[in-house]
Chains A and B, each alone.
Chain A
């Protein structure tokens, strides 16, 4: 409604040729614009609060995705850990061999 009123006043300037009348309309437009700014501030705060309320949903989805990625990584880690264990076992055999010789 405020926006419509502001547009209406702006369009009325197209038909005015008297500078004093035009100035008076501009003053009124400025007052309306100030109210538009105040409402916009409130609307933006409200939509940001709505977005904020949705953040936990995204955080939860991220946790689930990270758990899934971790479980797949764990399998690779397990295989590598087993291979490393065998590497140490191999080194132990080498040491035993050199001690026996």
Chain B
């Protein structure tokens, strides 16, 4: 009997192992890194939008003040709060999605099940012993260690196979939507300094620099000209840093789209490369944002 059980267990596990090996599994580290990259991008997006709002709002007030009358349309923000709320909602939904994926591909996924089998085996043995003690049964029913072990392993494999199947199906089905979301975000930031938000931010810096160019022409002494030149150098520093940060943020979105696609494709080298690109770009963006924030407000 024991041999039959052992044989059945061996065959079942081998079969499942072959089935599982046949289809590439989703790497938990890949999902975890995607999730971490997503959270970082959310925070960086918020900081980048705040910095862009700070930069542009001053010019908006300057323009409104130069007009004969005060009208609401002269105060339209470059990034409106309602749209910001949508970005936040999308990021929150994506974070939840990544967390659920991480749970479904986690090595601890079947812990509850394993604990359940252990508890059940212990209780079956305990009840059996009590019944025997009461002379209600002659033999103690129990889950033999080999059967309980096989049951646990088989169940564990089946549950993991189901989880992997479900996660892969969702990853694959959601991939086009994820790609559209990140591409839309990347486009909204802009592919260069002549497009979208990057273009607008660039124009605002140019406007500030232009004002200093006039001050320079009006300066009467070398000392006054030097003061203007120092301010100009600070503006250049702020401009370079903010524009680099926005460019890096744009690439982070595209890297996240690539990472998700690689996860959906199940290609191990693809996931490693894409996740590494996300980590690098996210870190680069963070460094630039930190550098930008360290530049004094007067230099911005």
Contact = CB atoms under 8 A, between A and B. Distances in A.
Contact of A93 (B82, B122, B134): B134
Contacts of A57: 174, 177
B118 to A, nearest CB: 9
A94 B217 CA distance: 100
Q: Is the interface of A mostly helix, strand, loop or mixed?
A: helix
Contacts of A79: 113, 116-117, 119-120
Interface string B119-157: 110111011001101100000000000000000000100
A62 B96 contact: yes
B116 A80 contact: yes
Contact of B166 (A18, A50, A65): A65
Contact of A44 (B62, B79, B100, B124): B79
A23 to B, nearest CB: 6
Contact of B120 (A68, A86, A90): A86
Contacts of A54: 90, 177, 180-181, 184
Given A36-B200, A72-B162, A51 B90 contact: yes
Contact of B203 (A3, A66, A69, A71): A3
A94 B130 contact: yes
Interface stretch (B13-21, B204-212, B269-277, B281-289): B204-212
Contacts of B202: 3, 7
Interface string B56-90: 10011011001000000110111110111011011
A45 B188 CA distance: 10
Given A17-B217, A59-B93, A76-B116, A86 B123 contact: yes
B126 A13 contact: no
B123 to A, nearest CB: 4
Given A65-B100, A65-B166, A40 B196 contact: yes
B213 interface: yes
Contacts of B299: none
Interface residues of A, number: 68
Interface in A35-88: 36-38, 40-41, 43-45, 47-52, 54-55, 57-59, 61-62, 64-66, 68-69, 71-73, 75-80, 82-84, 86-87
B94 interface: yes
A55 to B, nearest CB: 6
Contacts of A82: 116, 120, 123
Contacts of B204: 33
A9 B195 CA distance: 17
A21 to B, nearest CB: 9
Given A29-B210, A65-B97, A69-B103, A41 B217 contact: no
18 contacts: A3-B195, A7-B202, A13-B214, A22-B213, A29-B206, A38-B76, A44-B188, A44-B197, A47-B188, A48-B84, A49-B86, A52-B90, A58-B90, A69-B100, A76-B113, A79-B119, A80-B120, A93-B127
Interface of A: 3-4, 6-7, 9-10, 13-14, 16-19, 22-23, 25-27, 29-30, 32-34, 36-38, 40-41, 43-45, 47-52, 54-55, 57-59, 61-62, 64-66, 68-69, 71-73, 75-80, 82-84, 86-87, 89-90, 93-94, 96-97
Given A4-B194, A19-B218, A61-B174, 10 more contacts: A3-B194, A6-B203, A7-B194, A33-B203, A49-B86, A52-B89, A65-B166, A75-B116, A76-B113, A82-B120
Q: Which 5 pairs across A and B sit closest by C-beta, in order of nearness?
A: A79-B116, A76-B112, A48-B83, A86-B123, A83-B119
